[in-house]
Amino acid sequence: MRNFKLLMALAACAVAAPAIASTQGTPGPTSTGTVTINASITPEVNISNLDDFTFTATQLATAVNTGRPAGLTDDICLWTNNVDNTLFVTATGDGAGGAFTLTDGSRTLPYSVTLRVIASQFQLTPGTKTRPIVISNAGVDCSAFRNGTNASLAIILQRDDIAAMEATTTYTGVLTLLVSPT
C-alpha cells in the first residue's frame, strides 16, 4: 500500500510538471542559465466613464410641448483585447422581465436605449446581445482619446409616455450593460 501511494504521488507530479525549457549553469567563476517566459491572456473587455442620467423637469416639459422625445447622451469607453476589436453588449433594465422602464413605485415609464460606436448605431433590446461591435481601441480606459471615450449611450423618453407621468413624482430605474468578448 505504501509503494502504491508513492507511485501515485510520483505519477501526479509527472502529469502536473511543466515542460522544462530552461538551461542550467555550470559551476565556475561565472555561471549562466536561461529560462523561457510564457504569458497568455483570455479575451477581456471593459466599460467605463459611465454617468447617471437625470432628466430635468424643463427637458420633459419641452418634449411634451414640442411633440419631440426627450433624450440624454453619455460618452463612454468600451475596450477589448480581441484581435479584431469586437465586443458585444447586452442591456437589461430593472423592469419586469428586464424591460427598460422607470417607476415611481406604482406606475412605469418606458425608455429606449441606443449605443453609438464610430459610425454605427445600435438600438438595444432588453436582454438581447448585440451583433458584433467594432470599436476604436485606445487602451482599457480610452486614455489615448482626447476625451477618454469611444462610444455614446443615449436614453430616450417618448413624448406620450412623458405626458402620462404624474406631476412632481420621481421615476427611477437601473440599466445594466453587460459587455462580453464573444
Nearest to 153, CA basis, from 73, 80, 42: 73
- Portion of the chain with pLDDT greater than 70, in percent: 89
Q: What is the pLDDT of residue 20?
A: 67
Q: Does the structure show a pLDDT above 70 at 18?
A: no
Q: What is the pLDDT of residue 19?
A: 61
Q: Does the structure show a pLDDT above 70 at 4?
A: no
Torsion, Cα 168 115 76 130, to 10 degrees, reads 120
3 state SS of 163: helix
Domain 45-180 grouped into CATH 2.60.40.1090: yes
Average pLDDT, the chain: 90
Nearest to 134, CA basis, from 120, 153, 154, 152: 120
The whole-angstrom separation of Cα 24 and Cα 54 is 64
Give the confidence band of 7 by pLDDT, cuts at 50, 70, 90. Answer: very low
Distances (CA, A) of 130 to 86, 104, 122, 134, 180: 11, 29, 7, 11, 10
Q: Taking the domains of the chain in order of start, what are their residue ranges?
A: 45-180
Taking only the tens place, the pLDDT of each residue in 140-170 is 999 888 888 999 999 999 999 999 999 999 9
CB proximity list for 42: less than 8 A, separation 6 or greater: none
Give the confidence band of 8 by pLDDT, cuts at 50, 70, 90. Answer: very low
Q: What is the pLDDT of residue 53?
A: 98
Q: Does the reported pTM lie above 0.85?
A: no
- Provide the pairing of β-strand 45-48 with 70-80: antiparallel
